[in-house]
Amino acid sequence: MQNAFLTVAPIFIVIIVGLVAKRLSFLDENTIKVNNALVFYLFLPSLLILKIANSDIKSMFDHNMIIVLYLSVFTVFIISVLLAKLLKIGKKQRGAIYISSFRGNFAYMGLPVAYYMFGNKGIVISSMLIAFIVPFVNILSIASLSASKQTDYKKMVFDSFFTPIVVASVLGVLFSVYSIQIPSLIERALQILSKPALTLALIGIGASLKFKEMTKRHKEIVLSGILKLLILPFIGVMLLRFLPIENTQAKVLLIMLAAPPATLNYIMACQMGADEALTSANICIATIFSFFSYIFWIYYMKCCM
């Protein structure tokens, strides 16, 4: 248990640094927005291209990982739909619960945890998973929120496949598979650009938490948190019993499934008319409690996987 704590604690200390920096007015809303944009469009894609291109993807790829990933996410989505109807939760709140139950912070939380547990191999495996899961959860998110508001679905589907993180992951895979060498000048530039990626991503999470958005909808918040932090990774664990995967790959997969709801869920909820306050509350509460759930899942991995 101590090892699990020591793995997770430094990551959350950096998140707290971001939160405190915002509280002390070292970071304002515009600075946070610029920071998150730089991470999303520049620093993180640079890291993904660099790490994936310089790895042996062929030896690491296992289609069972993708099957477990998709089945886990889709299953928890169906469970969230059934529970929301059974508990007679309002229409706007349902969308917030659906998206919070399966759309995790894969790049900003899952990837750093995988890196600090398994080093470069953790980044490569998690990056491969991001390339497959991000378009899938984005399309599922559109389906989840479609009842709330009419919007340009074609554009959102297009954007789901062409986010910088997905494009960078795919480019890295192509470079690796076809043994394309990155020119040394470009590689050095990518190395410089990639260095602040994980640190600024974690600081951005802390600075972006909006506690004032929390509501009194305790039932919905608890439901979303349990589905995302416990049920989703538990489904993955059960599926791994039937679809065996190499040990490190299985552990990285579990880390990705256990990631708290993505901060981008709030933006998507705003765009599509879901309950914004509930979505924000889900992100804040689940991010805080993911400290404990990650300790639990890491301890489980060390003891049982």
pLDDT of residue 234: 97
Domains located in the chain, CATH noted: 2-304 (1.20.1530.20)
pLDDT of residue 152: 58
What sign does the CA torsion over 142, 144, 145, 147 have?
A: positive
Mean pLDDT of the chain: 88
pTM assigned to the model: 0.90
CA–CA gap between residue 110 and residue 101 (Å, rounded) = 15
Model confidence at 201, pLDDT cuts 50, 70, 90, reads very high
Please tell me the least confidently modeled range out of 11-15, 42-46, 91-95: 91-95
CA–CA gap between residue 74 and residue 70 (Å, rounded) = 6
CA–CA gap between residue 128 and residue 66 (Å, rounded) = 9
Give the torsion through C-alpha atoms of 143, 149, 155, 156, to 10 deg.
Answer: -40
Model confidence at 146, pLDDT cuts 50, 70, 90, reads low
CA–CA gap between residue 280 and residue 102 (Å, rounded) = 15
pLDDT of residue 216: 67
Q: Which two tokens stand for residue 265?
A: 């869920």
Phi-psi region of 119 (alpha: psi -120 to 50; beta: other; left: phi over 0): left
